[in-house]
Every structure is written in C-alpha cells, then in structure tokens.
Amino acid sequence: MNRVWLKSYPPSVPPSIDMEKLQPLNVMMRDSCVEFSDRTAFSNMGARLSFTELEQLSARFAAWLQHQPGLKRGDRIAIMMPNLLQYPVVMYGALRAGMTVVNVNPLYTQRELAHQLNDAGVSLIVILENFAATLQAVIKQTTVHTVVVTRVGDLLNFPRSAVVDFALKYIKRKIPAWHIEGTFNFKHVLKTSEQLGFEEQQLSLDDVAFLQYTGGTTGLAKGAVLTHGNMAANLHQVICWLSPFVGRGGEVMITALPLYHIFSLTANCLTFTCLGGENVLITNPRDFPAFIKSLRGLHFTVITGVNTLFNALLHTPGFEKLDFSGLKLALGGGMAVQRSVAENWKKVTGSPLLEAYGLTETAPAACMNPLSNLDYNGSIGLPIPSTDVAIMDDENNMLNLNETGEICIRGPQVMKQYWQRPEETASHFNPPGWFRSGDMGYMDENGYVFIQDRKKDMILVSGFNVYPNEIENILVEHPLIIEAAAVGVSHGHSGEVVKVFVVTRDSSLSEEQVIEHCREHMAAYKVPREVEFRKDLPKTNVGKVLRRSLRA
C-alpha cells in the first residue's frame, strides 16, 4: 500500500521499529530499574518510589504470588484501585510472576464488577479498602479465591500515611463497612515476603500481559487480549515517536488519568518507566483545586489527558500561575480534543495540545500528531512507526484519499483477540488482518487522519466508552418501563452525556426515579443526564429502534 504519511514524518522518526529488539515487559522493566536505579519512578502525595524500590517491592509481591497455593503462571490477577504507588508495584509484580493483569475500574457497581471478574476468570484481586464493600457483595458468585486489601496510605510516608487513612475512614467516611473472610493486608504481604525466594519468569512475547476490558455492543464488557509483544511493540513505537523531543532519565510526567485505563497505562506508566522518567500520580483528578496545588513547584515536562481534563484545568483558578517553562508535551487522547480547548491551552501554557488516537485493542497508540506541530490541526495525527492505517468501505475495499470510510489498523500492537469471544474477534478483523475500529474518518494527501463520526452508537463520556445496549438493558429491568433507547448528546464539559428515551407503563414515573434506578446499577459516568418520556419509539420494519432518528 502507499504509505503517504511517511513523507510527513519528522526527519528523526523511523518508518518502522526493529521487531528483533522487542522484549517481554518484565525484562524491559528490570532493565529500566537497573539503568535508572537512583531516580524517582513514581511519586504520590509527597512520597517517592525510586526505580530500585520499585524493583525490590515488585519482586517481593511477585515472590508472594509464587508462594500462594492455587496460583500458577498465566492466572489472572485483578487490580482495583485509583492512582496510588501500590499500582505499579502490584502490576509489575504480577507480570514478573508470569501472571496476567486485569485492570478493574474502581467505580464499577456490583453488577459490573461481578461480570468482569467472572468473564476473566480472576483468581486474585488487589483492591483498595474503599471499594471492598462492593467486592464483598459479589465475591461468592465469582471465581476469586484470594483477596489482598490495601489502604491509601500504605506506601506513603509517616505520619501522613496514618493521617490520610484516619481522615478517609473516620472524618470523610469514604470507607463503607466490609468483611471478607481470609483477606491479606498489602503491607503485611510485602513485609512477610521479604525473605521468600523469587524466580523471575522467562516469558515470551506471546504470553498474555493484560486482559484489558472495553465496552461491548451487546452490553457486556469484553477483554482485549494484549500480549507482551503487543505492549512492547507499542512502547517502542511511542518511544520512537517521542525520542526526538523527550529525553531519558529526566522527564516528569503528570499522570492524572487512571492507570487502569489503557491510555494512561501505556503512555504514562509503561512508556515513562522505560524512559526513566517520573510519573507524578494524581489520585483524585476530579478535585481540581487540590490537583493545581499538587502541581505547584513542579517543573513538569509532560502531561496527558482527555479534552475535559484540560478544559477543567484551564477553568480552575491558579492554573495560569503554574510553571510551564519545562513543558515539552501535552497529549490529548481518549476523546476528541476541541479546537477552543487546544487554542486556550497554548495561550495559557505556551505549549501546543496535540491529539493522538488509539483503542484498547491497539494497546492503544495507532496515530499521533508529530511533536514538531505547533498548532492544533483537527487531526488525530499520522500512523506511528510499523503501523498501517487504511480507510475502507463495508466490503473491505480501500478508499481513496479524502474519502470517508471506516478507519482500519494493522500493526504489531493490535490485540491477539477478544477473550473467549471468537465471534466478536471475527467481526472486527477482515481477512487480510486489518482491525476495524468502528470509527469513521478519512486520510488527507499528507497522511493525516481525521475522524468524522463513530460508525456504531457508542457514546463517549469524558473518554470512557458507554454502550447504549447496556443502558437500555438496565432501564427495562424497572417494572414501570416498557421500552427504552439511549443516545449520546453533546455536552460542553464531558464531550457527550447519555440521554434516554423511555416508554412507561405508568405516567407517574418521574425523571428522578429513572435516574436513581440507573445509579443503583451502573457507574456514574454511564448514568443518563436527560430523560425524555415518549408514547413509542421509532423503529425499522423489523422492529429495531432507530437511534439515529432519536438523535436527530
């Protein structure tokens, strides 16, 4: 195929990566810990974790895993926590022990949590105490047999660790009462495993590193099978793209997006660990005044986020007074970056806000704007090294430049398959091996890709995928609702929000009651913001609801 995008590459970026140099993630992490031993790898709430400490603590956790009865190489280990120092310790430890990591959104309801744990066949979960009550309610119906509970302060410095834990439990009351038989305490695990022998696993690029869950059009989340090879390839691709502009061993990355999300996991946690940079973990990015306070005095060089995060920062008093003199890169992904936000960002910080594109299934990076670009261009960028992008019609024919079709991706970072979903896998790959993204767009004569619309009915709320079928299935469980349809409507803050159309059995049902029903059964970002009652819903001649008509 004609790779027109290569002519737009920065001179120092190669067209492809050296596949012979790829190594499993545990080897890449070990090498970084040796090379950057004395540097800070992660920081959070005033505490710092050096690369040496990361290596030591992750080895202890890996050793503990290897000595647990009923656990073996390849088993799935779930992590359910926000951005804390414990996350990289557990994640790297699990990979070093040869386990597969399953990232779990801490905002999940009981229903959502039970589905993911069972679908992945999770054996062990490491969970923040704040969310243990949710696990308690469903654990007997899941495959989980071992639970490790951690507290926010477990790896913080004393006395802050004690103060934070006390405040969360007794003052802010953020920890609901819970009781799960036989749980292990994270700090105790690290202490008791210090003397245990650890055997570093000899992993191959075909071993599964992550089961990374993404929404499904059937209403059920599905796991993208990402191997060590997929992840290592994407890390090399991203590093090739960044290397002319960011250095090794000196960058300070602001990590506000949750590490359980593929964007932050790869672009922040893994990439900058390999580069020897410091990840500044923001535990609660929704508290923007506190977020700004944590940035004061920091000479940060890189920040990633979604459009809503950048927009909120710009509208938080005090942001404009921060030190942006070291800022080299602001990268937006997960949802479209709006022109007004990008232009305002550059005006305030002096640095362009560049857009990138990817999916959970592509580990995630597929396209990125060159870091040499100084202004917003409305594009998701160019295909990164060793990545092919084609625009295709429904018959898998490649379209011409500037013609709109489905964005299809081929490269070493593309997932192996969906976990235990052969039909889903087959429907997303066409015979020549292209992954069909479901996004509609076009490529211009310089190789830049532009998204125009989403092919399916997915709703994108602050960078998180929300699927209408899931919303509708929960709505019709209400005894007074006959039919329901969910669509996305534009919203200035979160890009889109969910609006639902409801046909009821009883006109007394109120909008507040519908929303409350949803709150009980789904994560907050999925809950409808608008409810419209109708006598009927528009349908095709075979009875399928016409969501397009409802959006119009």
In this prediction, residues 460-488 reach a mean pLDDT of 88
In this prediction, residues 320-335 reach a mean pLDDT of 93
**pLDDT tens, residue by residue, 386-417:** 999 999 998 999 999 999 899 999 999 999 99
Please list the residues that pair with 227 across neighbouring strands.
208
- DSSP-assigned letter for residue 545: B
Residue 538 token pair = 């528009």
Contact 507, 480 (CB under 8 A): no
200 pLDDT higher than 70: yes
- DSSP-assigned letter for residue 451: E
Contacts of 439 (CB under 8 A, 6+ apart): 406, 407, 451, 453, 454, 455
468 pLDDT higher than 90: no
**In the chain, what is the greatest distance between 2 CA atoms, to the nearest angstrom?**
69
How does strand 122-128 pair with strand 146-150? parallel
In this prediction, residues 310-334 reach a mean pLDDT of 93
Return d(Cα 415, Cα 102) in angstroms, integer. 15
- Rounded to 10 degrees, the C-alpha dihedral 526/527/533/534 comes to 10
Please list the residues that pair with 355 across neighbouring strands.
332
Alpha-carbon Rg of the chain, whole angstroms?
23
Return d(Cα 148, Cα 146) in angstroms, integer. 7
More confident residue, 469 or 51: 51
Confidence of residue 179 (pLDDT cuts 50, 70, 90): very high
In this prediction, residue 40 carries a pLDDT of: 98
Q: What percent of the chain has pLDDT over 90?
A: 82
In this prediction, residue 433 carries a pLDDT of: 87
In this prediction, residues 103-108 reach a mean pLDDT of 94
In this prediction, residue 218 carries a pLDDT of: 45
Return d(Cα 428, Cα 359) in angstroms, integer. 13
464 pLDDT higher than 50: yes
Return d(Cα 319, Cα 322) in angstroms, integer. 6
Secondary structure tally for the chain: helices H, strands E: 17, 26
Contact 528, 502 (CB under 8 A): no
- Rounded to 10 degrees, the C-alpha dihedral 418/85/134/499 comes to -60
Confidence of residue 453 (pLDDT cuts 50, 70, 90): low
In this prediction, residue 217 carries a pLDDT of: 40
Return d(Cα 145, Cα 149) in angstroms, integer. 13
85 pLDDT higher than 80: yes
Task: Give all strands (DSSP E) within 161-244, no chain letters.
Answer: 184-185, 208-214, 222-227
In this prediction, residue 542 carries a pLDDT of: 45
Residue with tokens 């956790």: 61
In this prediction, residues 251-264 reach a mean pLDDT of 95
Q: In angstroms, what CA-CA distances link 111 with 117, 391, 484? A: 10, 37, 20
219 pLDDT higher than 60: no
3-state secondary structure of 162: helix
In this prediction, residue 206 carries a pLDDT of: 98
Contact 241, 368 (CB under 8 A): yes
Give me the half-sphere count of Cα atoms (radius 13 Å) on the Cβ side of residue 451: 21
Contact 461, 494 (CB under 8 A): yes
From the list 492, 493, 502, the residue with the least C-alpha distance to 528 is 502
111 pLDDT higher than 60: yes
Confidence of residue 543 (pLDDT cuts 50, 70, 90): low
In this prediction, residue 549 carries a pLDDT of: 87
